[in-house]
Amino acid sequence: MEADRTESQPAQHTCCDVERGFCSTPSRPQWSASAEQPEPETGHVCHWEMNSGIMSLLSDTAFEDPWSSFFMDVLSSLSFVKVSSVRMQGLLLLVFAKLQHLPFIQILSTKSTPTGLFGYWGNKGGVNICLKLYGYYVSIINCHLPPHMDNNDQRLEHFDRILEMQNFEGHDIPNILDHDLILWFGDMNFRIEDLGLHSVRESIKYRSYSTLWEKDQLTIAKRHDPLLRQFQEGPLLFPPTYKFDKNSNNYDTSEKKRKPAWTDRILWRLKQQPQDSSHTPSLPAPNFSLSLRSYVSHMMYSISDHKPVTGTFDLELKPLVSAPLITLMPEGLWTMEKDVLISYSLTPGFLNSPWDWIGLYKVGLRHINDYVSYVWVGDNQISFSVGLNQVYMDISDIPETEDQFLLCYYSNSLHSVVGISKPFKIWPRSLFGEDLLDEAQPQF
């Protein structure tokens, strides 16, 4: 899938996945890509509710948390790279993107909003990643709202508080309600009102979900709250995802016997256009649209008292940015014998920094920190002009391997990759004669 290059071309059509689940530690045999779902073309968003014990928090502070490492290992084979992550105690939000989209994704902000213990404790609340995607503003929020049937008003209060706290003072970022897309998901803990336990279970048994929709607290709240009503959700055509006995598909058989409920939800909101008149409904921006492809739960997983939920979306947009800020390439033939040269050019108006750096990566990188070697553009620069800059890289730090490599330019001010080279090989000297190498190598 290629980005648009001219205005006359059709809008870009992409696909992204959103999934949420619960677990303390990952287990490879219990996760695999679904054969029924096509591979996402753009992004993968993962939210997991994790062990938030003190020892787990201390361990994850010192090391990469196991879920991040697990998903990076799995998704890198599909050319996905971890773009950003944010964690608040038991909440973890990960964003992955296909490699070719990295120069068009700018991470603007990551934020945690605790709402537990009067706003001082992160066992409840939300985390947010705000980014620009091909020039469009996108906010991704996951949350854990207060539990229990009688706390519905508190849930709605926390929902509003999380939204209100997504301010970006000191940054040139519009109000979150002016973002082109808000993806909001998590353990929202909304319950099914009025109906008794037996009625709910009988409705589930005979798949009479429409009876339960009418009593779902989130559905009821959207009827009365104009802002909440702007958030869309797919049809709940799967059984309630809470509460199950662990390691089984049986709803709660404990002494409490909690009523099943759709606690785990995925919502989205597209930016509303100004209304021309009181009779004209507001519509999403015409060059940016999102449609739901699938919204399902996965009953085969039983390691939690919740069942995971996934949503797959088609995102159609007309890029506002169609060229990367940096174009870079390896200069000449790279071998393991001599230091090598990198050429790059800047888009007019882009302000680079001496703290920008260029990383050398093996093809199949998991994260921007997976570089084999890197150079600071300010320290290793050997020439520059209006149209072209060159830096050198010490070859001694690069292992000899038959893998393919690529270069990424990282902007310190934008906290994002702004340019990627095409893949290339670094050849062992033994494959070439002395004269050929001397001619191919750059001279410093």
Q: How many domains does the chain have?
A: 2
Task: Tell me, yes or no, whether 370 lies in a domain.
Answer: yes
Let me know whether 286 and 219 are in one domain. Answer: yes
Q: What is the pLDDT of residues 31-88, one digit of tens each?
A: 333 334 455 666 677 655 655 444 444 444 445 678 889 999 999 999 999 999 999 9
177-191, 219-233, 339-353: which range is least confident on average?
339-353
pLDDT in tens, 272-320: 876 655 555 555 556 899 999 999 999 999 999 999 999 999 999 999 9
Give the range of the structural domain holding residue 399, as residue numbers without chain letter. 326-440
Identify which of 245, 289, 290 has the alpha carbon closest to the alpha carbon of residue 266.
290
Neighbours of 387 (CB within 10 A): 8
Assess contact for 47 and 91: CB atoms under 8 A: yes
| DSSP conformation class of 57 | H
pLDDT, mean of residues 78-103: 93
Answer whether residue 78 is part of any domain. yes
C-alpha to C-alpha distance for 211 and 313, rounded to whole angstroms: 27
Whether residue 4 lies inside any domain: the answer is: no
Asked if 177 and 311 sit in the same domain, the reply is yes
- Domain assignment of residue 111, yes or no: yes
Q: How remote is the C-alpha of 96 from its chain's centroid? A: 5
Q: What is the percent of the chain with per-residue pLDDT over 70, rounded to a whole number? A: 78
CB proximity list for 42: less than 8 A, separation 6 or greater? 1, 14, 15, 16, 97, 98, 101, 315
- Determine, yes or no, domain membership for 208: yes
Cβ contacts of residue 266 below 8 Å, gap of 6+? 18, 20, 183, 184, 185, 233, 234, 295, 309, 311
Tell me the pLDDT tens digit for each residue of 184-199: 999 999 999 999 999 9
Say yes or no to pLDDT of 370 above 90: yes
Residue 444 burial (CB count, 10 A): 9
pLDDT in tens, 371-397: 999 999 988 888 777 678 999 998 887
- Alpha carbons within 13 angstroms on the beta-carbon side of residue 40 total 30
301 and 278 in a common domain: yes
d(CA 91, CA 21): 10
Q: Exposed, middle or buried by CB within 10 Å (0-12, 13-18, 19+), for 325?
A: buried
Q: Are residues 411 and 310 in the same domain?
A: no
What are residue 427's DSSP bridge partners? 335
d(CA 272, CA 284): 5
Beta bridge partners of 112: 127
The vertex-136 CA angle with 132 and 140, nearest 5°, equals 60
For residues 308 and 422, membership in a common domain is answered with: no
Final residue in a domain of this structure, among 280, 296, 317: 317
pLDDT at 7: 35
For residues 295 and 364, state if they share a domain: no
Residue 368 is assigned to a structural domain of this protein: yes
Q: What is the DSSP letter of 332?
A: S
User: pLDDT (tens digit, 9 = 90+) per residue, 309-341?
Assistant: 999 999 999 999 999 999 999 998 898 888 899
Same domain, 313 and 332: no
Which pLDDT belongs to residue 398? 84
Q: Which of 300, 317, 334 is the last residue of a domain?
A: 317
For residues 44 and 138, membership in a common domain is answered with yes
3-state secondary structure of 396: helix
Q: Which CATH number fits the domain that encloses residue 136?
A: 3.60.10.10
Task: Indicate if 302 and 350 belong to the same structural domain.
Answer: no
Query: Among 78, 17, 36, which Cα is nearest to 290's?
Result: 17
